[in-house]
């Protein structure tokens, strides 16, 4: 069996098992569709992608794993706090999640170019989050911690210099 067939097969088997357990076991159904817990299975699907990516050593699965996990985490936070208006700027954290996924993919595949690209994608996401959050109601947290964006720019520039190929 080819390695590229194993990852999607495992994901489908495990997802099917999860959804079957939701239909058969009332306690799991209550957890999966609960008023406060419904985003947790989304985080779990992101964790599932991560697990399958690591077990089959399929670096490309880290990108969807990061995106799904980020969306699940955002939904859980918003559901817990009731701050649904934060979608006006929180969407930019999905860009950060893509960058984290590229970073993990680059680490797994030992690709320097992916690491540098990941840092720039993360930087773009953090800057977008900071700017949009400041203008669209991010509150005191963004106003208090905006210098973190400057620190991240410095770290990205430093790391891109360290990882840049010579010659």
31-67: pLDDT as tens digits? 888 888 899 999 999 999 999 899 888 899 999 999 9
Percent of the chain with pLDDT over 90: 48
Residue 62: what pLDDT? 96
85-118: pLDDT as tens digits? 889 899 999 999 999 999 999 999 999 889 889 9
Asked if 88 and 55 count as a contact pair (C-beta separation under 8 A), the reply is no
Listed residue (128, 134, 57) closest to 96, CA to CA: 128
Task: Write out the H or E segment, with its range, that includes residue 116.
Answer: helix 112-135
d(CA 18, CA 43) in angstroms, rounded, equals 13
Token code pair at residue 53: 């990516």
108-166: pLDDT as tens digits? 999 988 988 999 999 899 888 888 887 887 666 666 777 777 787 788 778 777 766 66
Asked if 74 and 29 count as a contact pair (C-beta separation under 8 A), the reply is no
Residue 93: what pLDDT? 95
In degrees to the nearest 10, what's the CA dihedral of 96, 151, 128, 44? 20
Q: Domain extents for the chain?
A: 1-82, 84-167
Percent of the chain with pLDDT over 70: 90
pTM of structure: 0.77
Residue 1: what pLDDT? 62
């Amino acid at each position: 069996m080819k390695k590229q067939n194993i990852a999607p097969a495992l994901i489908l088997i495990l997802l099917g098992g999860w959804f079957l357990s939701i239909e058969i076991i009332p306690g799991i159904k209550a957890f999966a569709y609960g008023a406060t817990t419904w985003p947790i299975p989304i985080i779990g699907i992101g964790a599932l992608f991560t697990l399958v990516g690591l077990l089959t050593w399929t670096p490309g699965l880290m990108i969807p794993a990061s995106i799904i996990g980020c969306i699940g985490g955002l939904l859980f936070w918003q559901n817990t706090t009731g701050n649904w208006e934060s979608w006006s700027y929180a969407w930019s954290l999905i860009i950060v999640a893509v960058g984290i996924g590229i970073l993990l993919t680059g680490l797994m595949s030992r690709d320097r170019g992916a690491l540098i690209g990941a840092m720039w994608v993360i930087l773009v996401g953090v800057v977008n989050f900071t700017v949009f959050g400041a203008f669209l109601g991010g509150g005191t947290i963004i106003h208090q911690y905006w210098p973190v964006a400057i620190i991240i720019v410095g770290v990205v520039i430093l790391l891109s210099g360290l990882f840049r190929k010579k010659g």
